[in-house]
Amino acid sequence: MEVEVALKKFHSLKLTDIMPRFETIPVVTADTDLLSILKILRTRHHVWVVKDRENMELIGIIRYMDVIDVLLPPEAHRFKLGMTSKTMKSLLGGAAKAGDIAERHVLTIDSDETVLDAIQKMRKYRIQVLAVVDDGRLIGEVSLRILIDELLRLLRVGGAQWRQ
């Protein structure tokens, strides 16, 4: 299989065909305590926050780098106009649960979209992970790492060779 053929196949794959099993993605509910979040973020780059496990309504995401805001004292956030919301994300500013610190503006992609759709969205917004949703409910995730793994798998299976 030529690389061009492999890429064409790769781009046309549905996200639901390459998403990891749902049980393997980091998901917590809005009322999860921050200590539990920090434990997850020791080994993961992010954690999805949902309203509850029954309806899986996506509330937000907490990224590894967001922990900086949690650890800083509230006054460290007040140096810029418009930073007051980050003040509340500090442990000392009153943040106690996942819902308190989750970034609410989450980039999502519908479950029926393709790999190419996901790559284009990642490029446009300069992000590495998208929540895969179905009617606002979290059903999975797609990340750059997952996409790379899938492309490498396709190239190995098809025996494609890079040509210089």
Whether residue 156 is predicted with pLDDT greater than 90 in this model: the reply is: no
Per-residue model confidence as pLDDT tens digits over 2-51: 788 889 999 999 999 999 999 999 999 999 999 999 999 999 999 999 99
Q: Which domains are delineated in the chain? A: 3-158 (3.10.580.10)
Per-residue model confidence as pLDDT tens digits over 88-138: 677 777 788 999 999 999 999 999 999 999 999 999 999 999 999 999 999
**Taking the chain, what is the end-to-end CA distance rounded to the nearest angstrom?**
16
Q: In angstroms, rounded to a whole number, what is the distance separating the alpha carbons of residues 64 and 31?
A: 19
Whether residue 164 is predicted with pLDDT greater than 50 in this model: the reply is: no
Whether residue 162 is predicted with pLDDT greater than 60 in this model: the reply is: no
How would you class 35 by CB atoms within 10 Å of its CB: exposed for 0-12, middle for 13-18, buried for 19 or more?
exposed
Residues β-bridged to residue 119 = none
- Name the CA dihedral angle for 73, 75, 81, 87, rounded to a multiple of 10 degrees: 40
